[in-house]
Structure 1
């Protein structure tokens, strides 16, 4: 009988320990979830501030006239005076012509056998 009561007491202790560990694990999980939620909230706030800052910069650029947007007409360059040079746009005469592509199959290189062996038979050079 004492063996049975001792086993029941040991089993009750194990069940209680298991319940305490489960509660502790759930508590740590909730704390971790709260910390990660707080971190992600801060990240979202920082991203929103960055987006607002970039929008503000874009508005300043367009208002002050130094926008880099290419949709507006560009002012004429001092080098665009309408003079065309002869041969502009053609390939220069010294440019090498591309050789025609050879579609024949290529063969793998073969290893040359050692032509002459000296006293050093194990040395390939």
Structure 2
């Protein structure tokens, strides 16, 4: 009978340990969740400050005359045939033709060759 009582006591201690571990795991999970919520809240606040800053900069540019009318217009659509012609409508600009020949490269001085005396090859 003492053997059964010992086994029961050991089983009770294992059940208690398991319950303690579960409680600890749940507490750690809640702490991690709270920290991540705090971190994400700070990230959202930083993003909101950045967006506000960008808006203020855009307003300053407009007020001071930095901005052009084109920046406020709708951007051209990728499907707009006039803004982006198809394969048959695009002609590359011709390359400029030089009238005079290119200047010849100047030869290296012999002194420059002697400066490489530390080079083993």
TM-score, normalising length from structure 1?
A: 0.57
**Greater helix percent: which structure?**
2
Deviation at 1:91, TM superposition (A): 4.0
Aligned residues: 78
**C-alpha RMSD of matched pairs (Å):** 2.0
Tell me the secondary structure at the aligned position of residue 53 of structure 1: helix
Q: Name the CA shift for 1:40/1:90 in 2 (closer, same or farther; >3 Å).
A: closer
Q: Which runs of 5+ in 2 are unaligned?
A: 73-93, 100-121
Match of 2:62 in 1: 62
Q: Name the CA shift for 1:39/1:68 in 2 (closer, same or farther; >3 Å).
A: farther
Q: Which runs of 5+ in 1 are unaligned?
A: 73-88, 95-125
Q: Residues 23-42 of structure 1 correspond to what in structure 2 (within 5 A)?
A: 23-42=23-42
Deviation at 1:67, TM superposition (A): 1.5
Q: Name the CA shift for 1:50/1:69 in 2 (closer, same or farther; >3 Å).
A: farther
Higher Cα radius of gyration: 1
Tell me the secondary structure at the aligned position of residue 16 of structure 1: helix
Match of 1:92 in 2: 97
Which structure has more RCO (C-alpha within 8 Å, separation ≥ 6)? 1
Runs of 4+ in structure 1 off by over 3 angstroms are: 68-72
Separation (CA, whole Å) in 1 of partners of 2:18 and 2:64: 69
Match of 1:106 in 2: none
TM-score, normalising length from structure 2?
A: 0.58
Separation (CA, whole Å) in 2 of partners of 1:71 and 1:38: 37
Deviation at 1:56, TM superposition (A): 0.7
Match of 1:9 in 2: 9
Q: Name the CA shift for 1:93/1:14 in 2 (closer, same or farther; >3 Å).
A: same
Deviation at 1:63, TM superposition (A): 1.1
Q: Name the CA shift for 1:63/1:18 in 2 (closer, same or farther; >3 Å).
A: same
